[in-house]
Amino acid sequence: MKLYTLALVFVGLLPMAAAAQMTHPMAPDAPAVNVIKGAQHPELISDSLIARLFSGHSGPKDSDTGDALADKYAHLQDIGMSEPDTQTLSQALATYNRAEAASVVKYNSVTNTAASYATFTQNRDKSATALLSGLKTSLTTDGYKRFIQFLQFEKTNVTIGAQGQ
């Protein structure tokens, strides 16, 4: 009987001992997480970042199937642009997403350093800025205005980790 009681106590203490070895994410010594809440500070979210996030979420990818493509196209139509502008936007986002995917594959295929990561992120931001510049010339004035207004609205719906984390 004593052996059985001792075994129960030991088995009962194992999970507590294991938990004591783990650091809880809310532990006092855990680093603070800095976030930017777009609803409070949309001005702190760059146009290139929101364009990149939007493209990754709503832009067509080569791996998308019929239903996913239809859903993404319907989301683009919600912006309220003309049909030709929506088609142009969809094609531009698809091209951007292909280039972004290739960039990630290239980055992951080599030994990386802090400097190569910095270059990768700078190039990624430049690509998103180039996407916006290209859309300014390829969409109608009204279409581009609606797209930018939509992106500005989208800034208020995101919460992101602050850079430098």
Is residue 42 a part of any domain in this protein?
A: yes
Examine residue 86 and state whether it is found in any structural domain, yes or no.
Answer: yes
In a domain, 12, yes or no: no
The total of structural domains in the chain comes to 1
10 located within any domain: no
E strand or H helix that includes residue 149: helix 141-155
70 belongs to a structural domain: yes
Q: How far apart are CA 4 and CA 131, in angstroms?
A: 69
Q: Name the nearest CA neighbour of 132 among 60, 50, 62, 29.
A: 50
Residue 19 forms part of a structural domain:
no
Whole-angstrom Cα Rg for the chain: 24
Report if residue 30 sits inside a domain: no
Asked if 79 contacts 86 with a C-beta cutoff of 8 angstroms, the reply is: yes
Quick one: which of 42, 75, 56 has its CA closest to 160?
42
**pLDDT tens series, the chain, 165 aa:** 444 443 434 444 444 444 444 444 444 454 556 888 989 999 999 999 999 999 988 999 988 888 999 999 999 999 999 999 999 999 999 999 999 999 999 888 887 788 888 888 899 999 999 999 999 999 999 999 999 999 999 999 999 886 544
**Burial category of 108 from C-beta neighbours within 10 Å (exposed 0-12, middle 13-18, buried 19 and up):** exposed
**Three-class SS of residue 160?**
strand
| CA 120/CA 110 separation, integer angstroms | 12
Backbone angles phi, psi at 31, to 5 degrees: -65, 145
| Residue-number span of the structural domain to which 86 is assigned | 38-160
Whether residue 54 is contained in a domain is answered as: yes
Residue 128, C-beta contacts closer than 8 angstroms, at least 6 positions apart: 48, 49, 51, 52, 55, 96
